Structure 1
Amino acid sequence: MASHVPEPEVVRCPKCHARMQPGVLPVSGGIGWLPWSPSATMSMSESLPGTHAVMRPNRLPGWRCRACELVLFRYGHKVPDPIGPADELPEAPLDEDTQRR
């Protein structure tokens, strides 16, 4: 019996406004965030909530724009395990501008 895989959220690229491709980012080791500053070596990084997993895989929902080489993702403790196995993810249709690039 196939599991129900919800349709991913439609996200548009903030740079070119094309529809972004949905996917997942494997991040079991967690993701750190270091705020930009002129003296970045003096700043302490913080761990983004919900990105570190122990003894289990962790995947964050994300979207990418191949044309702009931009990736967006959601993080946090309330982010559900996204959309199922990667092989079940639907391919997002690209708009005409992105297809021409």
Structure 2
Amino acid sequence: MNDAVKCPECSNEVKQGYIFSPRRISWSESADSIFSDFGSEVLINDAFFKINKIPAYRCEKCNLVIFKYK
């Protein structure tokens, strides 16, 4: 059985790993630059003492990263 995960854009096999950041990762529906992320939807919160790692998949061909948040 082949359990390889494929990229939804190019069908290339993706690498499994983890995404992390010492700062929060937020979502916006606008491409406009902002001065502050106040009021934005936070997908991953700031790290306090220890940086949590979130399981993710990365396509090296498309530069697409897929992860579940919260």
Same fold judged by TM-score > 0.5? yes
Decide which structure has the larger Cα Rg and report it.
1
- Considering only aligned residues, what root-mean-square deviation do their CA atoms show, in Å? 2.3
More strand by share: 2
Offset at residue 75 of structure 1 (A): 0.9
For 2:66 and 2:13, how far apart are their aligned partners in 1? 12
TM-score (norm 2): 0.70
Contact 1:28 1:59 in 2 (8 A): no
Higher relative contact order (CA 8 A, sep 6+): 2
Identity of aligned residues (%): 32
Q: Identify unmatched segments of 5+ residues in structure 1.
A: 1-8, 77-101
Show the counterpart of 2:13: 19
TM-score scaled by length of structure 1: 0.51
Asked if 2 retains the 8 angstrom alpha-carbon contact of 1:27 and 1:57, the reply is: yes
Give the paired residue count: 63
Deviation for aligned residue 1:11: 2.7
Q: Post-superposition, which runs of at least 4 consecutive aligned residues in structure 1 deviate over 4 A? A: none
